[in-house]
Structure 1
C-alpha cells in the first residue's frame, strides 16, 4: 500500500480537497509576493535614506564652510592695525625692533583685541603671540593671562609650521588665568610684516565649542543616526546621537580616515550601518553621517505589519469563500449520489431535482434521462464518451521572425539583380537596410554615421516614390562621424521636410542635409525649399516644443525627437525651427559631441542631478 502525502490527498473527499487547493492557490502567491514586496521596499527605503543622509551631511559641510569663512575674516584683522604690527615687531627677538613700541601701542593692541571680541558672541579668547613667546590676551571678562607655552604645546604645531594661511586648531581646553578653563576650537594665522618681509608673530582666536555643537546638532540623520565632525587631521571636533556613547566609534574613525567620500552600507562593530561623508573644500573637515540599518528595518516594519494583517484577512475570506463554493459543488453531487443508491435498490422512479444549468445540473439531467429511457441513456453515454475523447483544436498563429523578413527582402533583392532590375534591387536594399537598422539590438545610442546612412536610405525610397520630385544635397563633416547620436533622431526630421514641405510644392524641390561639428556640439540641419509655414503656425509648433505639450498628429515625430534629445542631454539641446511661408523650412538639431554610450549615460546623470 502506497504511503505519503499524495495518496493521502488523492483519497480526501472533494470538499476538503477543494478547500485545501483554494488555500494553497492564495497563500503561496501571498507569501511570495509579500517577501518580494518587503525586500523591494527595504531596498527603496535604503536608497532613500542613503540619499537623504548624504544630502544632510553635504548641507552640514556647506554650513560649516560658511561659518568658518565668516570667522576666518577676523584672523586677518592684525593687518589692519599698525599698533599690533609695532607691538609684535617690538616684542620680537630682533634687536633692531626691540622695545620700538610705546605704551600707547600696548593700549591700542588691547583695545584692538577687545573690539574683536565684540564682533561675535561665540569668541571666548583673543590672543597675539610674539616671536619671543609673549602673549597678550583678552576675554569677555577682561584681561587674562595665558597659562600655556605656545611654542611648546603640540596642539599649535601646525600653526607654527604654517606660512600665513588660516590654520584650524582642534578642540582643546583653553587655560587662561582669570578666564578659567573652557573647551574651545581655534583659528590662528601667522602674521607677516609686509614692510619688513618676515613673520612677526601669531593671532589666535578661541571659539566656544557650542558653535560646532550647534552646527552638528542641527543635522538629523534618520531617527537614531549620528554625526561625526572631524578636522583634516582626523581629530574629532564633535559627535552626536548614539555615536557619542558607542563602542564602534574607533572603527568608524578608521574607516573614515581611509575613504574620502562615503555612501555605503558597512558592518561596523558587528552592526550593519549606513556611512555617508562629505569633505569640506574650504576647511578640509569631514562630516560623517552614521545611520544604524535598524532604522530602515523599522521603517519597513509597518509594511510587514500591514501585509500580515492583509494576509490574515485574505486567508479568512478565502477560507469562507472556499467553504461556500465547495458546498455548492459537493451538495448536488451528494444529492446525485443519494439518488443513485435509490436506483441501485430498485427505485427506478427516483429522480434528481435539477436546480442549475451548470455542469452538475447537466449531470443530474443526464441521470434523470437515464432513468426515463435506457436507449436514450446509452446514446447519451456514447455521446459523452465521444466528446471526452475529442482533442481541443489549437490554432497556432504564425509568428514572423524579424530576421526572417530581412533575409526574405535580401533574397528578393538578389532576384531583382539577377533579372537586371537594378532600381528595384536598390529600393529593396534600402528598405532592408532600414528594417535591419530598426531591429538591430535594443540600444538607443548609435554612431552618427549609421544614423546618416539610415536617413539616406529613407530618402532613396522617397525619391522613388515621388519620381525625383526633389534633389538632395548632403554636406557631412567627416569629423562628426565618430560621435554618438540618438537612434531615429534624423530620419523623422527628413520625413517631416518631405511630407510637409516638398510634397505640397509645385514643381521640383530641394532638400539640404547638413551635419557639422561646432565647438563641443554636433549640429544637424535639414532644410527644404517647400511651402513653409506662416508665423502663426510656426509659433504654435515652437510653442508645443517649448511647453512639452502633446504634439499634433502631423508633427508627432518632431516632438518625439525633441523630447528624447532633452531627456538624454538636458534642456539646452534639441530642435529649433525656422520657416517662412512660400520659402521653406529649416530644422536644426543640436546634441553634445559625445564619443561613447557610457559618456552619454554619464551626461544623463549629470544634468539630472
Structure 2
C-alpha cells in the first residue's frame, strides 16, 4: 500500500491556522448576525421609503379628489347657471352683479387649497373667462378647445400651455359647439414642488411627480439630465401596479435607491430617490467597522502567533538545528538561551548530553579500533596454520619422491613466503608487495603441478602499486582456486589474475579466475549468501576470511563477489577495493 508523505508545515503557520480555526465559528456567527441585521435595516429603510411615498401620493389623491368635488359642486351655482343660460335677457346691472358674486365664489374655491393657482370658468354666451384673480378676459371656445377636449369625467390632471389643470365642462357630454360653460382650475406647480420638498427626509434626496404617460413632471431636482434618465428608468420599471416598488440604479458613477408608486386614480407616478450612502450609510459604516474588526482579528492572530513563534518555535528550531548538526557528526555544538523557562533547562541538558556523548564516543571508538585490530590478527592467524599444513604435505611428498631438483627452489620460495607472513610489520602492505608474495606462492604451486596449470598475471598499473591492502589478500583466493578448481585437472589448467579500475565507483577490481569445475548454481548462491552476511563468531578461512577483512578495513561497498560468467568458464572471484580517483 502506497503511503502518501504529507508536506511539513512550520509551527508558525500551524499556530496561525489553529487560531484562525478557533475564531472562524465566532466570525461566521458574527457575519451571519451582521447579514441579518443588514437585511433587517434594509427592509426597514425600504418600508419607510415606500410608506412615505404611499402616504404622500395618497394625500395628493385625496386633496385633488376634494378639489374636483368642489369643482363639481360649483356647477350648480345659481349665478353660473343664469349667466350661462339667461345672460342675453339679463340687464347689465344684473349681469355685472352676478359676475361679481361668481368671481367671489371662485376666489373661495381658489383659497380652499394651496394647490389651486386660479379658478376659471368660461361662459360661451358671454364670450368671457371669469377667474378668481378679478380678471375678465375675452375668449372663444376654439382657443380653449385643446383643454376642453382633454377634460374627463374622472379625476385627471390635464397639461396645457405649461400649466396643469383640473377641467370640467357642462354638460358632461355636450354636442359639438353646445357647451354651456367650462370650469377649469389651474394647479400651482410651485406649491406641489414645495410640498415635495417638505416630503424629502435626507440630504440630496429628490422627488419627482410624473403625470399620465410620463408627459409632464414636477421635480425638486434641478438636474434636467438626471430627471430625464430617471424618467426612462421609471417608465421601464413601472408596470401600472399600485404597489410601491424599490430599486437601485447608478447614475454618473454614483449609486442611488429609488422608490416609486403609481396611482391609478389620478394616473400619476411619484418617485423618490436618494444616494445609497444616505439610506444605507449606517449599514456601510457598520460593514466597514466589521471588516476592520475582521482584519484586526487576523492581525492579532498573526501577531500572537508570531509571539508564540518567538517564545516557543525559535528556541525549538535552534534545538532542531543543533540536533541536525549532531547527526552530521558535529559534537562541538553548544546552545545558549537567556531566559528562565523550560527551554533553558532543556538547553543545559542538551549541552550536558553532548559532553557525555563525546566521552562515550571516544571510548567506543577506541574500543572498536582495538577490536578490529584484534580481529584482523585473529583472521591472519587462521590463514598461517592452514597454509603451513599444505606446504608440509607438499614437502613430505617431494621428499618421498626424491624430487631434489625442485626441492631447492621450493624451499627458497617457501622461506620467502614465511618471511613475509611472519615479519612484525604493519597489518597493511602495498598491493605491489602483496602481488610479489602471491607470485612466490604461484612459483611454489608451479613446482607442485609442473606444466599442468598455466598462470597469467596482468601487469599491475603503476598508480595502483601503492594501494594499501590487508596482508594475505590475494594468496588465499589463489590457494582456493588450486584446491577446489584446478587440483584435479589432468592438463590445460588455466589461472588468470587481472587488475581493473572502475572509475564510476572509484574502485580497484581484482579478478582471479580459473577454468576448473566451478560451482553449481546452488553452491554459488550459498557462497554469495555467506559473503553478503558472513558469520561473525565462526572460524573462517579462504574466501570468507579475506572478505571479512576487506569489510573490516574498507566498510560497505568493498569485499568479494563470486560468479561463473567469466571467459575461462570456471569460478571467478572479484575483489572490490575502494581507492581514490587517479587524478587526485
TM-score by length of 1: 0.44
TM-score by length of 2: 0.46
